[in-house]
Structure 1
């Protein structure tokens, strides 16, 4: 019977009602995420295919997924992935889920390295000659010529005493496109490099050490956003995290020489001959104070690994170990950057200064909360 058919609309609406009835926040967001995982559709496709019947396999996935979600399991574990900057990384239980806040840590590292290391600046977007650009230019030239002819004619009729008029609106000219390219001209086509490889080929690679890599999202973002310039060593004490990071590396098309993922506690996988060779040490370590752990939402506290969350009494246990290791790992002038608990940033900054670091900064996340501490190893005199 028709009313027994489970369409996308019927399943989404039922899921929203079911999750809301069990006290889940944002039940429609959950329903759309789960439906997208079941069908392979994005949000727009879900709504444009509302009357499409679900296959038995899709319906079975939704049944299992809704039950798991109702028990508080994070969406990222259920659907098996999470967005992070320009990447989509696989997620699985036992490995910390990437957070939007951590995307800002990547941004800060790229920004600070770009101010001190040649070739690490934000890539300049190159103008791409799109098929219609020639026709646009022809029209713009014709309009400029017609406007100039009209202006000259009016100047002649008025005795040549015409005040210079503002140029009429038209398509961007060649001059305008070089001084302030339009959005269309500034587009970068997939696969087109945003900088001249020859300009960076002679520069030594920027070496970054990430401690506690989890899914690998930080190192993979750094490497893919500065292609050819960055070499990362990423460590994690969890075998499951290392395995997942390796799979994400392969899925992102990054080779092991560019992002070298290693199993071990903090900096222990770094060999003695590598010490002092890194331009940056980056980490999103366990930083939740132990007392706060008990107040975390059940979705986090009951499902994500405590090893990746609990930072000790003040949230700075692992941070102190990283701070002790940083002078040994980093080059003079090297960057030390960590994401931390918002109430621990002042103490962390003081510890950095006490350790002899300079250029100590506390930076906010996207919500305005103090979230990151950045510092540098002093340059040798």
Structure 2
């Protein structure tokens, strides 16, 4: 990242020393002024007596790269207010965008999910703050007579925070209160243990979603585009990098191991649609290529979504991803939306 020029610091300091303190993290003055406004609102809402000194300390901390969401304690996610705590991955706008797009596809009935009984089951693995299942529940509650949305994570800290987020958003009125035939839950499970399959097979799951750890150990340790300084220093590696203790199947890369397991789980749960966040184009190509070798791929339809899947693609963006298949040929997978490649959408029994 390029250094900030001294004249920009001087210009920021003319606004206030706090704007100058925020500049290394914000990179420009308008962003620093905006964050200062949020930090002032946060400090004014505290019982702290020495508010000016607290504000200065928080601006310095933020300027050193500490995530704003951890300082403020929350992140907007659609209509929701998602509490954020150190040790749990911060929700991203791109995740919000594909969650909205998935909800739109379900509500528009283009996926033909739910059917005449108007019942729907969604399971989200590696749920973190619970942002994905909470938003899907909020958006889909009015559409379905019977709705079950479940988030699962291995982290005790994440589970506690996700459950807290349910209660918090119900209190705020952003989530409908618990009602008959509608259920939103969070469970602590290790997806690499077969007990989770046995438990979930008792219920019907139409949609499976996951934003799993997908960053390689090399990228985490040495950089490479996917990992910024703030992310590496302050956000949990457990949510970003597959653990060293995870058994990697033959011919799979370590950073792709969660996808191998998620496809195996899907073969048991038999969802009608799968949405998986991925890191970049090459990971999308690898995962889709392995999907086509899986028994799930029969009568399937695969798409790659960019950051903003509901937007028209920019003129300079590729609209096709060529994916190698077993016979040595390739398959053309459509890419939709604008921004960077972000997720894989699979419709089964298409």
Cα drift, residue 263 of structure 1: 0.6
TM-score if structure 1 supplies the norm length? 0.65
SS in 1 for 2:70: helix
* 1:345 counterpart (281, 284, 306): 284
Mapping of residues 110-121 of structure 1, within 5 Å:
110-113=103-106, 114-117=109-112
Cα drift, residue 347 of structure 1: 1.4
1:190-229 deviations in Å (ceiling 9; x for gaps): xxxxxxxxxxxx8343100100111111000000011153
Structure 1 residues 249 and 57, CA, compared in 2 at 3 Å: closer, same or farther?
farther
Cα drift, residue 119 of structure 1: 6.7
After the TM superposition, which of the residue ranges 266-275 and 314-323 deviates more from structure 2?
266-275
Structure 1 residues 23 and 304, CA, compared in 2 at 3 Å: closer, same or farther?
closer
Is the CA contact 1:315–1:341 (under 8 Å) kept in the aligned structure 2?
A: no
Cα drift, residue 377 of structure 1: 3.2
Gap regions ≥5 residues in structure 2:
1-12, 244-252, 309-337
- Say which one has the larger Rg: 1
| 1:287 aligned residue | 214
- Quote the Cα distance in structure 1 between the aligned partners of 2:167 and 2:209: 22
| 1:235 aligned residue | 152
- Quote the Cα distance in structure 2 between the aligned partners of 1:218 and 1:348: 22
| 1:76 aligned residue | 69
Q: Which has the higher strand share?
A: 2
Is the CA contact 1:82–1:98 (under 8 Å) kept in the aligned structure 2?
A: yes
Mapping of residues 306-345 of structure 1, within 5 Å:
306-311=237-242, 315-331=255-271, 334-343=272-281, 344-345=283-284
Report whether the alignment pairs 1:223 with 2:137. yes
Aligned-residue RMSD, C-alpha: 2.9
Mapping of residues 85-164 of structure 1, within 5 Å:
85-113=78-106, 114-117=109-112
1:328-376 deviations in Å (ceiling 9; x for gaps): 1124xx1111010113111111122221321011111135221111113
Report whether the alignment pairs 1:14 with 2:17. yes
Cα drift, residue 96 of structure 1: 0.2
Structure 1 residues 118 and 297, CA, compared in 2 at 3 Å: closer, same or farther?
closer
Mapping of residues 253-268 of structure 1, within 5 Å:
253=170, 254=175, 258-266=183-191, 268=193
Report whether the alignment pairs 1:363 with 2:290. no
- Quote the Cα distance in structure 1 between the aligned partners of 2:339 and 2:254: 21
1:308-335 deviations in Å (ceiling 9; x for gaps): 111475631211111111111124xx11
Gap regions ≥5 residues in structure 1:
1-9, 42-53, 121-201
* 2:163 counterpart (230, 234, 246): 246
Is the CA contact 1:76–1:91 (under 8 Å) kept in the aligned structure 2?
A: yes
Mapping of residues 365-380 of structure 1, within 5 Å:
365-366=307-308, 367-378=338-349
Cα drift, residue 55 of structure 1: 8.0
- Quote the Cα distance in structure 1 between the aligned partners of 2:276 and 2:119: 22
- Quote the Cα distance in structure 1 between the aligned partners of 2:123 and 2:257: 19
- Quote the Cα distance in structure 2 between the aligned partners of 1:347 and 1:369: 17
TM-score if structure 2 supplies the norm length? 0.70
- Quote the Cα distance in structure 2 between the aligned partners of 1:299 and 1:106: 25
Is the CA contact 1:242–1:263 (under 8 Å) kept in the aligned structure 2?
A: yes
